Amino acid sequence: MPRSAPRPSLSMLLASTALFAGYAGMDSQTPANAAEPAAAPAATEPVGGNPLLAPWTGPFEGVPPWDKLDPELFPDAFEKAMAETKAEVQAVIDNPEPPTFENTFVPMMLAGETMERLFALWGVQTSNKSTPRVEAIDAEWSPKLSSFFTELNLDPKLFARYKAIYDKRHDSGLDAQQIRIVERSYDEMVRDGANLSPADKAKLVAMNAKLEGLFSAFSSKLLADEKLYTFVTDKAELDGLEPAFVASLAAAAEAQGKPGQWAIKNTRSSAQPVLQNATNRALREKVWRAFVGRGDNGDANDTNATIAEILKLRQARAELLGFRTHADYRMADTMAKTPANAMALMMKVWPAAVARVHEEVADMQRIADAEAKAGTGPKITIEPWDYRYYQEKVRKAKYDLDESEVKPYLQLDKLRDAMFWSAGRLYDLGFRENRGKVPVFDPKVKTFEVYNLKTNENVGLLYLDNFARDGKRSGAWMTTYRSQQTLGGDRNVLASNNNNFTEGAKGEPTLVSLDDASTLFHEFGHGIHYLLQHVTYPWLANVPRDFVEYPSQVNENWLLTPEVLSKYATHYQTGEPMPQALVDKILASQKFNQGFDTVEYLASAIVDMKLHDRTEPVTDIDAFERDTLAEIGMPKEIVMRHRLPQFGHLFSSDAYSAGYYSYLWSETMDADTWAAFMEAGGPWDRKVADRFRTILLMTGNETDRAEAYRAFRGRDPDVKALLERRGFPTE
């Protein structure tokens, strides 16, 4: 299941009071501690003497100076960037000429470039290279930045200019895109408080600032729990785990000062292989409890009180802004429009998913009972820490497929080449690795020039940060350090994919699971979306939350195509391609375990919506989670993919709050889009790919995305394609 999405540009922050947070494996011959040589950018006079504020220089229209990162420089940089941005916006406000699109919206869309560059640097500092000092700076400055942007957007003189243009939008010669910008900007300013009284505006500023501080506190607490390890002193406890993975655990323990032991980090990429493969049930339970208990241990890192305060403030803000609930506020500018529409889609899928889980559990229990009867296994009732382990036994029994057979063929560097090759065949995107041509923020980050295969024209640069490290937030995400636009001069794209894979032991390639391989292709789908984008106005770039995941989920489909598997799924020792018999088993088992996958995700989405679609804020977080899951019939053998105390999507920012449903909304379009490829003759049909690219990927938010989808498909998406994909009844 995908994890996250791109960070918005500063231009979008200027259009909204809400502040949102927001590959390549090493070559097997490269020593684990080797540093890529980094070419420093040409010297440029920094703004105010601070190198973090200097315009980016070097190749590819300028690149971030990662070699200049220093947490202590950020407070001064924030001060100076805020002053510069304020001056740029004030110049628009003070323009004595009558408001027009050209003298108001254009300079507003071009304002804040220094701040936007600074946010790109700070995003990496907080997400990829955090430290206690960085967390402290974030806790101090997130509220200040929130207040700054909220106050900027609530300036009555700025709103007056917007309203004057809005009122005459149909009589002033504006084209369709300009009218869309005017209407969306006006509506967003009203939605975010432009018509509030001065006293209520002050309340809103304070609320947003306090929320930002709470988001920072939540993130710090969660990161602290994810830095913890489960240490193993007896290697026998690791029976069933792959030798390469065991070696990586030994290396992690040594790095933690405990040579001769094995360290399992409290993150999904480390915990999941244990839950799936370890024969030692006690170890599985121990690792499971540590992982699902993140943020919920009653200690200094417990997040429950922080979440309760966030919920209280969110509801108060929604009411201040004239909305019934936080969910209504957050969904006003989405494809789904209302909480009821999102819930309706989720409840179309939920009953079938739960029914399938009961079938899956029965299959697993039969195997466990048979093993107990034969004396080859313990007498147990399937518990959550057993699910992944016994599902592999069912997979083996039903499809003669063992995940351990597959993983040796899934080399991270080969899969990277596969996703690049697929993008070339579908969209004419080419990728050339840069070694030492641009700075990187970690020696293991690799960069690739992106270019058009037909014209050789540069499209941008892709940064790949694949591996887990202390100070890096969990999960996987894509962001852009610079996004495309033609206003003010065409800009190429600096995109970044970030994962948390467990690196192979020294001298060995990194092998990943099918789930991790899907994540790799998913995040790259986000990258493709932004690399292909071609919009004039940056305020028509960012798409609705429930569209964001659509291009990335579509891209997952190409992973299991025969062409990709035959060409890139090669054994890490022999170099032989994956046998066709094994490929056939994988394809035959694609609908396997869909009950678990769907319920694990959908429970999180339903709880999110129920948590935020209410007028009385929840105060007892654990009780609400427990009671809501009981109400909807959550199978006891599964927990939410993200329990509330660790649900970073919801509580590290506003970004996915009342919005986690969007993965299902997007997947409905994804399944229907894949059906379009199949109807046209296969996954590589260029006519469908070209329509997908030109109508949906290149156009940002230039038109309503529901209308754009209808233009692509000839109708609205059909949920039957999703149900069929998962093997659920369609009637």
**142-173 pLDDT, tens per residue?**
999 999 999 999 999 999 999 999 999 999 99
Say yes or no to pLDDT of 36 above 90: no
pLDDT given for residue 108 in this prediction:
98
Alpha carbon distance 482, 466 (integer Å) = 20
Q: What is the DSSP letter of 67?
A: G
Say yes or no to pLDDT of 23 above 60: no
Say yes or no to pLDDT of 347 above 50: yes
pLDDT given for residue 33 in this prediction:
28
pLDDT given for residue 62 in this prediction:
97
Higher pLDDT among residues 32 and 344, named by residue? 344
- Please, is 157 exposed, middle or buried when counting C-beta atoms within 10 Å of its C-beta (0-12, 13-18, 19+)? exposed
Looking at the DSSP assignment, which residues form a beta bridge with residue 501? 467
Are the CB atoms for 188 and 257 separated by under 8 Å? no
pLDDT given for residue 474 in this prediction:
85
Say yes or no to pLDDT of 1 above 70: no
Mean pLDDT of the 554-560 span = 97
């084209």: which residue's tokens? 175
Neighbours of 23 (CB within 10 A): 25
DSSP strand pairing (429-434 vs 446-452): antiparallel
**pLDDT single digits (tens) 443-482:** 999 999 999 999 999 999 999 999 999 899 988 999 999 9
pLDDT given for residue 46 in this prediction:
57
| Continuous segment of H or E residues that includes residue 493 | strand 493-501
Alpha carbon distance 569, 585 (integer Å) = 14
- Of the listed 113, 523, 556, 600, which one is catalytic? 523
* Averaged confidence pLDDT in the chain: 92
Please compute Rg for the chain using Cα positions.
Answer: 25
Alpha carbon distance 596, 354 (integer Å) = 8
Residue from 82, 177, 65, 81 nearest 125 by CA: 65
Distant-in-sequence, close-in-space partners of 35: CB < 8 Å, separation ≥ 6? 443
pLDDT category at 47 given cuts 50, 70, 90 is: low
As a whole-number percent, the residues of the chain with pLDDT over 70 amount to 93
Are the CB atoms for 466 and 260 separated by under 8 Å? no
Alpha carbon distance 135, 213 (integer Å) = 11
Are the CB atoms for 537 and 185 separated by under 8 Å? no
pLDDT given for residue 506 in this prediction:
84
Q: What's the pTM value of the predicted model, to 2 decimals? A: 0.88
Say yes or no to pLDDT of 184 above 50: yes
pLDDT category at 269 given cuts 50, 70, 90 is: confident
**523 catalytic residue (yes or no):** yes
